[in-house]
Structure formats: structure tokens, C-alpha cells
Amino acid sequence: MRGKRRIASWLLASVMAIGMLSGCGGAAETGDGSAAENQVTAENSGAADTEAPGGQAKEQGEYVPELPTASEEADIFVEPVSGLSDNFIMGMDVSSVIAEEESGVVYYDEDGSEADLFQVLADAGVNYIRVRVWNDPYDADGNGYGGGNNDVEKAVQIGSRAAKYGMKLLVDFHYSDFWADPAKQMAPKGWEGYTPAEKQDALYEYTKESLQAIIDGGADVGIVQIGNEINNGLAGETEWENVTRLLERGSAAVREVAQANGQEIQIAVHFTDINDYDQTMQRAKELADAGLDYDIFGVSYYAFWHGTMENLTQVLTDIAEKYGKKTAVLETSYAYTLESGDGFADSVSETDLVEGYAATVQSQANCVRDVIAATAAAGEDALGVFYWEGAWIPVGSADAAAENEKLWEAHGSGWASSYAAEYDPNDAGAYYGGCSWDNQALFDFNGHPLASLDVFKYVRYGATCEPAVDYVRECAVEIGIGGEVALPETVDVVYNDRSKSGEVSVTWNEEEYADIDTDVGGTYTVGGTLGDGTPVTCELNIANVNCVLNPGFEEADTSMWIVSYEGNVNPTDVQDKETDALSGAKAFHFWDENEQEFSVEQTIEEPAAGDYTLKANLQGGDVGNDAVVYLYATVNGTTYQSDPVTLDGWCNWKTPQITDIPLDGASDITIGVYVKCAGGGWGTIDDFNLFCQ
């Protein structure tokens, strides 16, 4: 039991050496017991030993930050969330902080002075810290796997530093040697070959010893997670009965440690992908059916991955009402920029941005505020929100990747080091490198707090500021080849105070589009300014304009499409299944066990005069040797038809087309697809396109 030996050999000496450790003074120990190469700066270690701005430094655990008691002027606008309890969790996961500091990262307070990160967080209204714990994130030579190298020793340091500034600790046991999530739940190396029963005993002992070490180190532990995002397994077990037995042993260990120390520690079970409501509720039911002893049903909620905030509220509400459990959002975040600070690709890019939130500091604050509001709306059993890795920033600059890599490898400040390949060859071994989260931190690339960090202290009473543009919604104009440029007179502006958002007049730079040759296709960017001088841009796309309405069936209103079919059963529908669509998530779908004959068509009223081309995209199979499938267009009684289409397999997309369809500008055109096929035949039709040649 390699992980167990590591704790046993370190525990007594570590607790004696650390005691009421501030986490900043001495050399931090690495996984092999040697002193870390770098120490946290003296400025950080002594930041709270004297009276400091933002609060009063007393004995450990008694630091009291000065937080607002009413709405204040600030650098961001924050709409207050009413009814938040005094104990509502404003949490943050800062698991990578030790590795960051060992790599040379320095954090600053709002005045620009070097400061202990934990004081900065406390002064910003953060009242809870979360830390992940891996059993043994090192190879046989003591080289760390990265991602903070978060073993028990790191948790002791982080927990004691949090306690020094009055913040409680959530201990997040992954029961793995590296990242655990829905895609992978690998057992620790020390548990390799264990039977489920042996693994249960090992998890119980590991939880007891680890949690006791963290408490002895000075942490004020309030919550313990037994597993991380365990939707599909835990510690190498995928059979849910085995997972449940592991959870029972972890729960028993936490209860025993809490009782032995005279403390109240709540137990959380953690899931993600809550956009799948049915699966989430099923897991809650299974825990109830098993009689698992736990307190909090915790979820991850990232707005760019996990559906609407209305669904978040519904999930938390229903868990509390149906199963009598408290709830919490254990992970959330949002991007404030699309730049990468260390030259390593980030997890969230432009395509992930959510409607209503741009990659700006104000939008980041708004998203966090709205997640807090959605959580609080679930009622008094919703305990709060944790922001994930809000201080994980670059250890170097974006143009110094080679130097950054040395730090990632030496101190584990990247998401994974090359040493992790032995344990996780398919993921870490292939993609190891730097921080993929720096554009979602609540600190800039140089360690200065962003204004969005203060959302935690302002969200109860709100914050006001001078009206300012947060972002301008995308402005794009598409014209047909040979058409005239007509840019909009207004653009949709979103302000820091969303209530002031709306259409605003814009002045375009005529010189930038006056010489554009509209007879040549292409995309051009035209600049302009608002009345207050804010610069805006409009993307002008000169191309063949598609005359078809809802050509890819993505819009909810499909009334423009008419389906005619033979027989008593309509074999068609609009299917929401991204893997069967050419683009987007939806496509027109057909299947029936009986022979099918149908057409789907749309009539377009009086397109401009010219010669037109019609295209569509089809895929399918099992249609039979006598199947008849083709694209057609009808104008003034004349029907034009494409060559027959052969549907011969999934994702073998076919694109029939008809060219030289004459339109006089006063006539309608009906376009469509005809299908006659055998029973069992299936397929999808997507992305019609009718354009002037």
C-alpha cells in the first residue's frame, strides 16, 4: 500500500514541524520528503502577522475581513442577490497554489502590494477553500505528476493557511493518484490488484489517516468530498454496487474522525453533467436506495458545458425536496479573456462562450453572480458555490514556453507533467503541459486580483459603478455578390449594468468599405465608433446568400417545411442528435419499419432575379436496392431534378445539386427532397442551400 506508507512515514514529523503552520514560512516538502527548491516569499509569509488592510490579523482562525454592509461603489457592477444566508459558502478551489508559488508566482492585493493569496481571498469575501487530494501523485523517483502535485502534505499546508485567515476547508479526496472525473477514475498505484473488499478497507484507512493529518496541521475542515465527479465510477470501480461500498467506507471514516476530534464535518458526494437531469436524479435515487450516510449532493456547473442555470436550480431544488439532502455547486468558473498566458492551450475558447457573457472581467463577475443566484434560488438547503482554481495563473509568459516547461516539470504547476505518462498514458502522457485554466482565473497573468474577484463580497448588497460598455454583440452583415453595402445604423451594446443595454447608434468608417469590390466574394472587417468613442467592428461577408429559411432545422419553428407522405404513419421528424447532423445539433430525420415514401419541401417567395443553384446534404442506409432519392425544385410548373442519390452508410454524406434554375424575380420557387425506400431505411437531411450563381 504505497500511498498508506507515504502518509505513515510523514505524518508525525510533518504535523510536529507544521503545527499551526501558516503554510508560507518554511520549505514545503515534496512527495519524496525532500525540501522544495523554492520557498514562498517572506512578504507572503508575514502578510497577516501584523495588522493589514482589509481586516484585522489576530490569532490563527480569528482573522476578520472588513466586508461591505451595504451597496458600494466599485470597479464592477454587481446586482445583489437577496436572501443569502450569513453562512452561504463563497468558496474557491486553490489546489495549485503551492506549486504556483514554488514556481515563482507572486500574488498581490488590490493596492498592488505583494500579499498572501489567502488574505487576498478573505478580503474579497471568500469564506471557504477547497483542495483536491491525490494519494500518490509522484513516480518512483519523486517526480510529481503535475496539476499541483496535490498530496496530503499540500492539503495540510493549504488547510492551515486557510484557517489562519478564518476560512474553512473542503477536502476533496479523488481516491486516485491523478485527475479523477467522469472520463477516468483510476485506482491509486498502491491499490493495484486489490479486490473490491481490499480496496474498501484501503480507502477507509487512507481517509482516516489523511483527514486526521489535515486536521492536526491546523485546518478547519467543514466538508469532505468522498470522490470527485463520480458519475461513472470511483477508484477504478465502475459497477455501482462496488462504488457504493467504497462510498460507505469513506463516509464511515469521515464520521469517525469528526467524532474523535469533536468536530462537525459534512460529507459531500460529487457529480457533474447535470444537464442530463434524468441521470443526475437517478444517481441521487441510487444513493438513497443504498442508504448512504452523507449530507451534501454536490455538483459541478460550468455554464459553457452543463446547460441552463434554470436547470441548475431545478436539480438542486429537486434533490433537496425528494431526498432530503443539502446541495452545493462544488465547481464553477468563467473566462475573462481568450488569451493564453503561458502559451499552452486553454480549456475554454471563443466557441465555448455562453450567450449573455463575453470573455471580459465584467461578464466573468456576472456569470459568477448568476450562478450564486441560481444556487440560492434552490432554497435554504443550497449551501453555496465554489469557484474552481481561481488563482491558477501562468508561471511565465506566453512567449517563454521552453522556460515555462522547466517550471511545470519541476514543481507541477502545469496541468500535467511528462512524469504523469506512467500513470495516465492516454491523456497526460499525450497532452501534458501548462495551465489550461489561466484565462478563467480571478487574477491576471501577473498575479493581480481582477475586479471580478470582488463579486463574492459585493453579491449580498450589490455594487455600482459608472456605466461602461462591457461588450458589443456580434455585428455581421451578409450580402450577395454584386449587392450594395448597407451597414446597420445601430449595434446591440451590453453594459456593465445590464439594465442599460440595448441598441446604440454607431458611426462607421466609410473609407473602410467604400472601396470594397462587392463583385468579389470575401469577408471584410469594417470599424466604427459609438457616441462615447467605444470602438466597434462589423463583419461584412460577401457571398452567395442562402434563400432557404431554417435550412438546417436548428430553429424551433419548422413551419416553413411541409412534409407529405404516403400511408398512415409519418416516418419523419426533426432529430436533435449532433452526431447525425452535418452541422449544428439538428437535422431532418426519417425511419420506419414499413416502406416509406415522402417529400419535405419549402416554398420561397419571389427571390431576386437570376440563375440559381440548389444543394442539400443527405446520409443514410438500409434503404433497399430500389430506393429513389433526389433533390428537386419547381418554378412556374417546371420541375428540376438532381441525379439520384445513393444512401450507403452513416456519415457518408451526399450533396446533390441542381444548377441553372432561372428565376425572374416575380415567381416563387419550391425546393425539396423526395425519398422512396424500403422498410427499415433511415437517414438525415441537412443544410439546404439555394443561392444565386
Q: Point out the residues that are catalytic.
A: 229, 331
Q: Which residues contact 285 (CB under 8 A, 6 or more apart)?
A: 323
Dump the DSSP string for 209-250: HHHHHHHHTT--EEEEEESSS-TT-BTTB-SHHHHHHHHHHH
Pairing between β-strand 657-663 and β-strand 610-621 as defined by DSSP bridges: antiparallel
Dump the DSSP string for 359-371: SSHHHHHHHHHHH
* Beta strand extents in 571-668 (DSSP E only): 572-576, 586-591, 596-604, 610-621, 628-635, 638-641, 649-654, 657-663
Q: Dihedral through CA 69, CA 70, CA 71, CA 75, nearest 10?
A: -30
Report how far apart, in Å, the C-alpha atoms of 155 and of each of 42, 174, 442, 678 are: 21, 13, 21, 64
Alpha-carbon distance of 174 to 171, in angstroms, equals 10
Is the CB of residue 76 less than 8 Å from the CB of residue 360? no
Neighbours of 665 (CB within 10 A): 9
φ and ψ of 107, to 5 deg: -105, 155
Is the CB of residue 289 less than 8 Å from the CB of residue 241? no
At residue 133's C-alpha, the angle toward residues 127 and 139, to 5°, is: 145
Consecutive H or E run containing 535: strand 535-542
Neighbours of 182 (CB within 10 A): 15
With the C-alpha atoms ordered 366, 458, 130, 223, is the resulting torsion angle positive or negative? negative
Q: Which residues contact 113 (CB under 8 A, 6 or more apart)?
A: none
User: Given 3-state DSSP classes, what are the helix, strand and coil percentages for the chain, each rounded to the nearest 5?
Assistant: 25, 25, 45
Instruction: From 125, 121, 141, select the one nearest 67 (Cα to Cα).
Output: 125
Report how far apart, in Å, the C-alpha atoms of 659 and of each of 224, 609, 628, 689 are: 66, 15, 20, 12
Alpha-carbon distance of 316 to 300, in angstroms, equals 11
Instruction: From 462, 536, 469, select the one nearest 502 (Cα to Cα).
Output: 469
Is the CB of residue 67 less than 8 Å from the CB of residue 124? no
Grid coordinates of 329: 455547486
